[in-house]
Structures are given as structure tokens and as C-alpha cells.
Chains A and B, each alone.
Chain A
Amino acid sequence: MNTPHKPQGLPVVAVVIGALFFLGLLGLMLHGVMRSGDADRDVLPSALIGKPAPEFVLPVLHDPSVQMGSAELRGAPYVLNVWGSWCVACREEHPVLTRFAETRRVRVVGYNWKDEPEDALRWLEQFGNPFFVVLADYEGRYVLDWGVAGAPETFLVDGAGVVRWKHTGPLTEQVVAERLLPALEQVERGR
């Protein structure tokens, strides 16, 4: 070879771009591996946070002649827990919810979704009723307004009626301690 041309091979730019691309891919996969442990990795962010809670009026489970809703609950913060006797994960979170409700720091309102009243009442008798009041949405009239995907879901609404926090899936001690309580503290301080 008598040609004085440049040595063959990939230009530096291509190598650098390739390396960056590879590192990026590696980072993405690492991120995926880290997240795979999260129980709530499929949970959608709520569109309602920071927005007024939907207006609703529902019969009280224990006395259907009484109607209650967003208007009556306004004025102080409350936690709204969407559940049903048909919901297995609700039973799982019930002890946690009960322990939280028993601190009496905030009203915990039960939102009984698509449930036969007698089933719901039996469920509460069996597992205990920690709720301030249970409202029954037999037809699922307002769940769409709340952006509910499946029970259990838990919302924190402040005194002005604004949704401040939401959890999809069963509550755990960790979720209560690390997410609900700090959010509640913030709500209480803001009042």
C-alpha cells in the first residue's frame, strides 16, 4: 500500500454518538430494573390533585334516608376511601386504614362502590367500621368524576374541598407514614 490516506475505521464522532446511545440505553434499562420493584409502577398520576373535589350527594349506608355529600363535608379536611365488599385488596388494607382512622386526626369517609347494602353492612360488622360515615354509590354515579380506576383508592381533600393527595391500591403502613401523614400535615398547616 503506497496510499497516504487516513487510517480506515469509524470516525470519532460516530464512536462518541454510539457510546452515548449505548450509555443512554443502559441507563434506561437500569431505571426499568429499579422501578420494577415498585408496587404502584402502573399507577396513573391523578388528574385531580390540586383541583376541587367533584360535587356529589349520596345516601348514607347505615341510613339511606339521609343524603350527604361534598357540601356537608366541606370546612375541614377529610380522607375518602373507595371500597366494596367485593374488593379483596380492601380487606387487606382495612387494618391499616382502621389504625389510621382511630387516631381521629381527620374524618375518614367510606365510599362504598357498587355494593349491595346488606353485603357492605355485613362486611363492616365482620371487619369493623372505622369510618366517620359511609356513603353508598350503588350505581357508580360519581366514581368517574373522582377518576377512580379500581378499589381501593384513597383521597385526601382539604377544608376548602380541594383534592390534595391520592393513593391507588391498598394502603400500607409505609404509605400512611411516608405519604399520607406528610400530605395531611401540609393540609393542616395550610389551614
Chain B
Amino acid sequence: MSAMAARAPCLLLAAALALAQAPAALAQAAGDQAPPGFRDAAEETRFHALTSELRCVMCQNQSLADSNAQIAQDMRREVLALMRQGRSDAQIKQHLVERYGEFVLYRPRVDRHTWLLWFGPGLVLLGGAAVVWSIVRRRAQAAPAREDDDPPEQEW
């Protein structure tokens, strides 16, 4: 798509950004979302699977597949080009991570920067389970003693 065609929607976007008074209103040419021509269904399926796991770097809450920002369009084109060069999914992801960092992956890999992200919720759950278990055990220890001196009548 030519840069000329990209100008009109971009001006609209720029106006919207100015209205919203975004502090760092990064200009971004918007482009058409038309999918590139695929050779066959398998290629299309693989392309969609791959791009939905990649994050658009401009609009961080959209995947590459959903975003119509200019840069996302360029990145989709690059992903397809790399696929046609015979690169594997892992190699394509690595290619983008080298340029944009781990952030482009919706499912970040496990390493020393991301282990807390991956295992943090599990650790919190384990901690909670430990607390509950210790409380339950303490009550269970106290309970039999009470039953002996405190026959059937309820205390409430």
C-alpha cells in the first residue's frame, strides 16, 4: 500500500489522539487489514496461528493478527516472508524477539526475567494452601480435647 493512501486514516487517528490528549501521542499510519494472498489453506492456518500469538508493538493490547496499525501490517508481511523462506515458528518468533524484545510474545518463554510471571500465581496458591492447611491442622488438634469435656450441647 502506498504511503499516500495511508495519510487520510492517519490524520483521523492523529486527530483522535490529539483529542484524547495522549501524553505521548505517537503518530502511526493506519493501513488496510487485507490479508496477504496465501498459497494454500495450510499456510493461511499457520499464519493466523502465528500472528495471533504475536503482539502488535504499537497497540499493545492487540495481537498482530487483529491490529491494523501500519507497523503491524509490516510485521505481518515480514512473518509471511519468513514463513516462505522456510523458517520455523520458533525461528520467526526469535527473529522478532531480537528486534522488539520478549514483549512481542503473548506467551513469553520461561527464563530468569519471566519465571515470576509464570510461577507467581502458583506460588501464591501454594502459600495460601499452606496457611489453610496449618490452620485446619491446629483446629483438628484442639477439637478432640474439647469434645471430651464439652458434651452434646451446642455453644451458640
Q: A residues engaging B (CB < 8 A)?
A: 1-3, 5-6, 11, 13-14, 17, 39-40, 42-48, 84, 86-90, 114-116, 119, 138, 140, 143-152, 168-170
Bound CA–CA A17/B27 (angstroms)? 47
Within B28-83, which residues are at the interface with A (CB < 8 Å)? 28-29, 57-58, 60, 69-71, 74-75, 78
Q: Mark B128-139, 1 if CB is under 8 A from A, else 0.
A: 000100110010
Write the chain A residue with the least CB distance to B60.
A42
Write the chain B residue with the least CB distance to A4.
B149
- Say yes or no: A43-B24 contact (C-beta < 8 A), given A114-B29, A149-B71: yes
Bound CA–CA A53/B150 (angstroms)? 79
Q: Tell me what chain B mostly uses at the interface: helix, strand, loop, or mixed.
A: helix
Contacts of B134 in A (CB 8 A): 11, 13
Can you list 17 A-B contacts (CB < 8 A)? A3-B149, A13-B134, A39-B24, A44-B100, A44-B101, A86-B3, A86-B7, A88-B27, A90-B27, A114-B3, A116-B4, A143-B74, A144-B99, A147-B101, A150-B27, A150-B69, A151-B28
Residue B86 is within 8 A (CB to CB) of chain A in the complex: no
User: Does B26 contact A148, Cβ atoms closer than 8 Å?
Assistant: no
Residue B140 is within 8 A (CB to CB) of chain A in the complex: no
User: Does B145 contact A151, Cβ atoms closer than 8 Å?
Assistant: no
Within B3-22, which residues are at the interface with A (CB < 8 Å)? 3-4, 6-7, 10-11, 14, 17-18
Q: Tell me what chain A mostly uses at the interface: helix, strand, loop, or mixed.
A: loop
Distance to closest chain A CB from B111 (angstroms): 14
Bound CA–CA A7/B10 (angstroms)? 69
Bound CA–CA A145/B2 (angstroms)? 20
User: Does A88 contact B18, Cβ atoms closer than 8 Å?
Assistant: yes
Q: Identify A144's interface contact among B75, B135, B142, CB under 8 A.
A: B75
User: Does B71 contact A116, Cβ atoms closer than 8 Å?
Assistant: no
User: Does A86 contact B101, Cβ atoms closer than 8 Å?
Assistant: no
Contacts of B25 in A (CB 8 A): 88-89
Bound CA–CA A14/B132 (angstroms)? 9
Bound CA–CA A146/B145 (angstroms)? 72
Contacts of B26 in A (CB 8 A): 89, 149-152, 168-169
User: Does A2 contact B3, Cβ atoms closer than 8 Å?
Assistant: no
